Chain A
């Protein structure tokens, strides 16, 4: 046993990436004050009542979810929106709703201990707040303690070893990565500013299981006075649920998956605009979604392949390679995952294979 551990240590120290492993890395500080003037504890926000970990919404907090959520290493997410009292958001047909100043969007990330019992015990990792400060949204991340009694502000990010039993009974473990404050903007950027991504009409347009039963979320928001200037219901757009064939065709579901996982950057207003690859579900130009499009600055992310998407040939498509890869120099999205989204990859693969070539 002793030698087993020794062997493992030597493996770790001798063979970490790039053949250049340091023997030991001493952490040094640069000195000086780097604290920011924000609430240091999640509880100070008074978003939940009772035990924090139960996510029991305080008055004015409304839970919501999305048709097709971003993949974040299989975490579950509990989302809430809190508008300032008496204020409503302006409906927008294609973009995120125009929320009033002081709106807070809350997203809790957790893993059920056993995915076969998703309502059972869970390990809450972080709670992210997006706060509308008028000029811009601010992103704050709170990391939960092991006791699950409180979460603390963490601006520099953190790695948390975590494990769970997946749907097929396998034990999974990863070093879950909490983003640093600037990483938030890696996804939440729209024309250079931080904005929310999820709460668009097409993502909200479905029934949510509220305490008083299932209701359409847009309808509920209107009833509660949270949304105004809304179009008539027959004009509400819907994004397919990526994993529910009842809600859309293969094309619609794959495009929904690509929109939420890629288009926060890959759109004309996003940080990946320089690539000319645009992956909003509403993009209709073949070349813009990568079909027979050579890469611009993919570096080795191209993996020796020549086009973003080769119809009928997922194995020849750079897009497939990048959504599968776990290499930080090649993978997409660039941050926010350490695992492959097996089911999402299969969906996109099928979509490309079925494409007319």
Chain B
């Protein structure tokens, strides 16, 4: 009897365990590598050997200068945090200067795969950071998460499967994100409360939202001056699998580029294709807090949220959108979110390329200029007034904005 019970139990357990198991020769370098991180002198290269390495705890680097952590190649060196039981991120780097991460894969941390905080001069290149299997809500939040950093370069890397953002940079200063591939994340690339940011040459596809530039209240610094150019932003129609409450949980699937409550932004020479809800969305924080509150369109009530921080301006200003190529082969907007449904009612057969929530304290002051973007479908939602003055007319916004000349020196 006991035998049958046990066998049944085994069968049940095996059946319930899914079929994703990879039969790899996993090894552990955990204790040794953590010791190395602690004892390494400044100006060292820490080489990660080729192989598949399993970790059970966060691995931490703190207070070091001029350190390179280098694998044998993204396909050769794989660090897995699938069995992690302790710590909120896979690899965490804090209070450092001049750090380079390159040539390895990091995957499946329950929290963030790589978090870097309070660090100057950071380079990440030829790294793959992802969650294996189907994208799901239980995936960790950020594949790359530099926050409160200065001089950040993320290039030639891959981010996939993040339940928040693939490449997220927050409250940082002087950032270049270029030539990366981001897919199957809720947000492909997200720059939040950061200033002097360049996002170019990236491929953002099959995320919920491709590239987001946001400014949120109540934080240590506010963002401004960001250029988003020469990116391919394609088919970002993936379901939103972010846990509710997070700001990206409010991003409608089918969003190519989204600008929220931020200023001095230049968007140019991007190819924005087949994003079902909108190619480019420009919104105020009022809209997000309304969506986030779960109280429908009680915008007035939620405008209060942003007012908790007097320094914060919830309305987008000084945006210049020019020479982009918008294209959408979908006749109908996605029907999976409120915006799609709204667009279907208001603009059947021509989903907007550029949509503005229309919320601003003074609608005579233009927050943005649009020029040389070809034939575009535009929508001004007038969301603050129950969409009463909703319009597709955009001639008022046909103007020359200010180009951002300043080059970032890292």
Chain A positions within 8 Å of B, measured between CB atoms, are: 3-4, 6-7, 10-11, 14-30, 32, 34-36, 155-157, 177, 180-183, 185-186, 189, 192, 271, 273-274, 276, 287-288, 292-307, 318, 327-331, 334-335, 338
Give the residues in chain B near A19, CB-CB below 8 Å. Answer: 17-18, 20-21, 133
**B137 in the interface (beta carbon within 8 A):** yes
Q: Establish whether residues B34 and A157, one from each chain, have CB atoms under 8 Å apart when the complex forms.
A: yes
Q: Which residue of the partner chain, among B10, B117, B137, B308, contacts A271 with CB atoms under 8 Å?
A: B117
**B171 in the interface (beta carbon within 8 A):** yes
- The residue of chain A having its C-beta at the shortest distance from the C-beta of B171 within the complex is A274
Q: Which residue of the partner chain, among A7, A181, A274, A331, contacts B10 with CB atoms under 8 Å?
A: A7
Q: Quick one: which of B18, B31, B216, B309 has the most chain A CB within 10 A?
A: B31
Q: Establish whether residues A18 and B87, one from each chain, have CB atoms under 8 Å apart when the complex forms.
A: no
Give the residues in chain B near A36, CB-CB below 8 Å. Answer: 38-39
**B396 in the interface (beta carbon within 8 A):** no
CA distance A140 to B289 in the complex (A): 45
CA distance A32 to B338 in the complex (A): 59
B183-234 at interface with A (beta carbon < 8 Å): 192, 216-220
Q: Establish whether residues A334 and B88, one from each chain, have CB atoms under 8 Å apart when the complex forms.
A: yes
CA distance A340 to B347 in the complex (A): 52
CA distance A271 to B6 in the complex (A): 48
CA distance A125 to B217 in the complex (A): 44
B6-44 at interface with A (beta carbon < 8 Å): 6-7, 9-10, 13-14, 16-18, 20-29, 31-39
Q: Establish whether residues A302 and B244, one from each chain, have CB atoms under 8 Å apart when the complex forms.
A: yes
- The residue of chain A having its C-beta at the shortest distance from the C-beta of B148 within the complex is A274
Give the shortest distance, in Å, between B273 (CB) and chain A (any CB): 29
**B398 in the interface (beta carbon within 8 A):** no
Which stretch in B108-116, B253-261, B356-364 binds the other chain?
B108-116
CB contact under 8 A between A181 and B246, given known A273-B220, A274-B220: no
Give the residues in chain B near A303, CB-CB below 8 Å. Answer: 243, 245
Q: Which 3 A-B pairs have the closest CB atoms?
A: A299-B141, A329-B110, A302-B245
Q: Establish whether residues B20 and A20, one from each chain, have CB atoms under 8 Å apart when the complex forms.
A: yes
- Count how many chain B residues have C-beta atoms less than 8 Å from C-beta atoms of the other chain: 90
Give the shortest distance, in Å, between A193 (CB) and chain B (any CB): 8
Give the shortest distance, in Å, between B176 (CB) and chain A (any CB): 20
Q: Establish whether residues A14 and B29, one from each chain, have CB atoms under 8 Å apart when the complex forms.
A: no
Q: Establish whether residues A10 and B245, one from each chain, have CB atoms under 8 Å apart when the complex forms.
A: no
Q: Establish whether residues B83 and A15, one from each chain, have CB atoms under 8 Å apart when the complex forms.
A: no
Q: Establish whether residues A334 and B87, one from each chain, have CB atoms under 8 Å apart when the complex forms.
A: yes
The A interface, classified by DSSP as helix, strand, loop or mixed, is: loop
Give the shortest distance, in Å, between A84 (CB) and chain B (any CB): 25
Give the shortest distance, in Å, between B133 (CB) and chain A (any CB): 7
Q: Establish whether residues B132 and A20, one from each chain, have CB atoms under 8 Å apart when the complex forms.
A: yes
CB contact under 8 A between A18 and B148, given known A183-B60, A274-B220: no
B126-177 at interface with A (beta carbon < 8 Å): 132-133, 137-142, 145, 147-148, 163-164, 168, 170-171
Chain B positions within 8 Å of A, measured between CB atoms, are: 2-3, 6-7, 9-10, 13-14, 16-18, 20-29, 31-39, 49, 51, 54, 57-58, 60-63, 80, 82-88, 94-95, 108-112, 117-118, 132-133, 137-142, 145, 147-148, 163-164, 168, 170-171, 192, 216-220, 243-247, 289, 292-294, 305, 308-309
- The residue of chain B having its C-beta at the shortest distance from the C-beta of A293 within the complex is B218
Q: Establish whether residues B28 and A26, one from each chain, have CB atoms under 8 Å apart when the complex forms.
A: yes
Give the residues in chain B near A298, CB-CB below 8 Å. Answer: 141, 245-246
Give the residues in chain A near B147, CB-CB below 8 Å. Answer: 274, 297
Give the residues in chain B near A306, CB-CB below 8 Å. Answer: 244-245, 292-294
Give the residues in chain B near A328, CB-CB below 8 Å. Answer: 84-88, 110-111
Q: Establish whether residues B305 and A299, one from each chain, have CB atoms under 8 Å apart when the complex forms.
A: no
Give the shortest distance, in Å, between A321 (CB) and chain B (any CB): 10
Give the residues in chain A near B245, CB-CB below 8 Å. Answer: 294-295, 298, 302-307, 318
**Interface contacts beyond A11-B13, A294-B289, A299-B140: sample of 7 additional A-B pairs, CB < 8 Å, sorted by A:** A3-B2, A18-B83, A20-B21, A156-B34, A297-B170, A328-B87, A335-B86
Give the shortest distance, in Å, between A317 (CB) and chain B (any CB): 11
Give the residues in chain A near B10, CB-CB below 8 Å. Answer: 6-7, 10
CA distance A237 to B85 in the complex (A): 39
